[in-house]
Amino acid sequence: MPRADASLRTQIWALLPLRVFLGGTFLYAGLSKILDTHYLDDTSPLGVHAQMLHAAATSPIGPLVSFAAEFPTVIGLVIAFGEVAVGLGALLGLFTRIAALGGFLLALSFFLTVSWTTDPYYFGADIVFAAAWTPLLIAGDAGLFSTTTRLRTAIRRRRPNPTPDDERRILLWGGLITATAAALGGGVIALARITATKPKPSQATATATNSPKVIAAVAAIAVGSSTSFTTPDGSTAYLVRPSTDTFLAFLAGCTHQGCPVTPAGSGFRCPCHGSTFDGSGQVTAGPATKPLTKVPVQVVDGQVVTA
């Protein structure tokens, strides 16, 4: 069995960076869900229930997603704790191939639901995560920084002849280590959130200039419609007219990861990860949590201009 003191030129080290990245990412994702007050809230547009209902409309496994949406708390907890288990398994080398299989299935399910409408497909991260788990699924951890290997070695030193009880002991100790690590990780994240008392700066709006820019004539924008324009600093934005006397403008960048949103009905939708926003820029479906960034506008002599 390869050891951690093997030469860095040994091939067993090749997958370690990928293992650390995938394990850390899934662990963080799972703990973030568990500690998110919106995640299991059926009434919140940011909750897992709302996200499943939204994904069911376009997913190739829509009927299955709709059925799962009837049990949002159970499914939400399975996803969150599944990510925690997968992350810890990869990081600690606990049944690494099983952890990789779990990570692959989770990423594949996200691709078939949340990221299915991403166009082009390579803009979505979930399909990349699914592919990234396959090397660990095939090769495992090769005994490198492997808790399972260490447990098996320690037990066999005491009992040279392996028995089924030895494997059960390995499983029990592995579960205890996983639970302890998850509790410590959750405590660190919770403490970080509690102690972060410094208020966050309010979301920045587009920078105004001394010379207002004409966006469009009032008569050219029908009530309920929108039009794209470029802000004075060169950013893409949308002007909407929800009522006769009201004009609103928002930057086109999704507040989740910056992908350009597009008009969808009376609001906007992010094609990358499925976030949606209403006509006032407020989030109606995650994973975005913040409203679209406003661009100040005003009406001057029959023209809508930047303020």
258-286 confidence digits (pLDDT tens): 778 888 877 888 877 778 888 888 888 87
What is residue 226's predicted lDDT score, i.e. its pLDDT?
84
Q: Which residues, 6+ apart, have CB-to-CB distance to 232 below 8 Å?
A: 206, 207, 208, 209, 211, 213, 306
What is residue 195's predicted lDDT score, i.e. its pLDDT?
57
**Structural Rg of the chain based on CA atoms:** 25
What is residue 8's predicted lDDT score, i.e. its pLDDT?
57
Positions in the chain short of pLDDT 70 = 1-10, 45, 155-156, 158-179, 181-211
Structure tokens at 70: 């009837």
Q: Which residues, 6+ apart, have CB-to-CB distance to 184 below 8 Å?
A: none
What is residue 187's predicted lDDT score, i.e. its pLDDT?
60
Any idea what DSSP says for residue 238? E
What is residue 174's predicted lDDT score, i.e. its pLDDT?
59
Q: Supply the pTM of this predicted model.
A: 0.62
Buried b or exposed e, range 136-153, using 16+ CB within 10 angstroms? bbebbbbbbbbbbbbbbe
What is residue 204's predicted lDDT score, i.e. its pLDDT?
45
